[in-house]
Amino acid sequence: MTQIWKIVKWEFLNRLKSKLFLITTFALPFFMGGMMYLPSILIDLEPEEITKIGLVYDDQNQFLIDRLEAQLSLSYRLKSGEPQFNFYRFLSEKEALDSVLKKSILGYLSIPKMVLDTGKVKYFSESLSNIKIYKGLSRTLNQAVIEQRMIEQNIDVSLIGKLSRGINFETFEIDSGGDISEGDELSSFMVPYLFLIILFTTVFMSGQLLLRSVMEERTSRTIEILLSSVTPEEIMRGKIMGLGLLGMTQMSFYLIVGLLFTYIKELATIELSQIPIFLIFFITGYLFYAAIFAAMGTFFTSEQEAQQSSGLISIVAILPMVFASYFITNPTSAYTIASTYIPPLTPFMMIIRIGTGTVGLNEIIFATILMIFSCWALLKLSGKIFKTAILLYGKKITIGEIIKWVRT
């Protein structure tokens, strides 16, 4: 046991001081945060400009245009206080089109004579990437058309506000104890996804380090020196434990940053009672993939081959992230529940379902037992492969040989 702890200490401290670990641990959360907020920051820093819009319409719609301009002037203003939109009338669509091509205006609205009857309006621009502009125009013009129709039917326009006022729809969450708290739809999506990313990142980063460690020591024949004082089983256990401890250190940092993020953004955070459950599925998820990566480290002599093979495993594990929006919004669907009990996906799926508050204690217990059994079986198989293949150099290992080692 003393020898195992020496390996644990070596793997943990050696990787803890590495530049790769420090950069990925401390820079990744801030990089992800920057990717999320940089676009909005750049938008805020960008100088404000008046949006020039062309109008092509019939004289009989002048009252509609006046109402449109008045409403936009009230609703959309720059920080300087000036109206965001300036309008320019064109007698034909050809003139308006020429102005768009000359960059004199951003785009133009084509409002037909019978717009109050047809309700059809066309907007032309070289780029429709700025959704806020044409959605704002569409929303305001729609309101102006409704009001103009009411005026022509001798209906009091002041009734619009009362008639169109929506309801105040509030959401509340009920926990397993029957306690009620104010709900937050964004939090219900963001929190499970945030912790899913943390789990995936730490499990696979630790697993990749384990794969590289085994492969490097095997190809450099450092493993022969180690085997003079320790057994292959002790080497494997020490490496898995050491890098698992490293992963838990990394995960703890990510959790702290994630909790701070949810607190600053006033999102619902994960409950303290859920932290032990999160740790259970981190440990079992890590052990499951660590067993695979430890065995894989004995198969390859080049990092390129190892990365290609580990990439295939990552594709399977990343499925919960790819379909996270479906799983989070449909946590009780048959597909979501079935995916929960597929061992390679179980840790990630349980984090999603725990975050959405739709998983019972009996399901958590069953998933935990399933993962413990799966980890035990994989670690046993991996140990047999590791013990035999660790000293094979320059020989390509076949599937048949692996099956033979497992059976013995």
The mean pLDDT value for 268-289 works out to 77
Range list for CATH 3.40.190.10 in the chain: 48-164
CA atoms of 26 and 21, how far apart (whole Å): 8
pLDDT in tens, 152-173: 777 776 666 666 666 666 666 6
Mean pLDDT of 275-284: 84
Residue 305: phi and psi, rounded to 5, are -65, -40
- pLDDT at residue 271, rounded to an integer: 61
Query: Which residue bears the tokens 């290992």?
Result: 397
- What is the value of pTM for the model shown? 0.65
CA atoms within 13 A on the CB side of 313: 22
Distance of CA 313 to the CA centre of its chain: 19
CA 231 vs CA 211, 223, 227, 290: distances in Å? 18, 10, 6, 18
β-strand 180-182 against 172-174: which pairing, if any? antiparallel
Contacts of 385 (CB under 8 A, 6+ apart): 295, 298, 402, 405, 406
What gap in Å lies between CA 88 and CA 327, rounded to an integer?
49
pLDDT, tens digit, 9 for 90 and up, residues 205-235: 888 788 877 777 777 777 777 777 778 778 8
| pLDDT higher than 60, residue 184 | no
Q: How far apart are CA 39 and CA 43, in angstroms?
A: 6
pLDDT digits (tens, 9 = 90+) for 301-352: 666 776 777 777 778 778 887 887 788 778 888 888 898 999 989 998 888 8
Interval 403-407 mean pLDDT: 66
Which residue's entry shows tokens 């799966």? 374
Q: Is 173 exposed, middle or buried (0-12, 13-18, 19+ CB in 10 A)?
A: middle
The CATH number assigned to the domain with range 48-164 reads 3.40.190.10
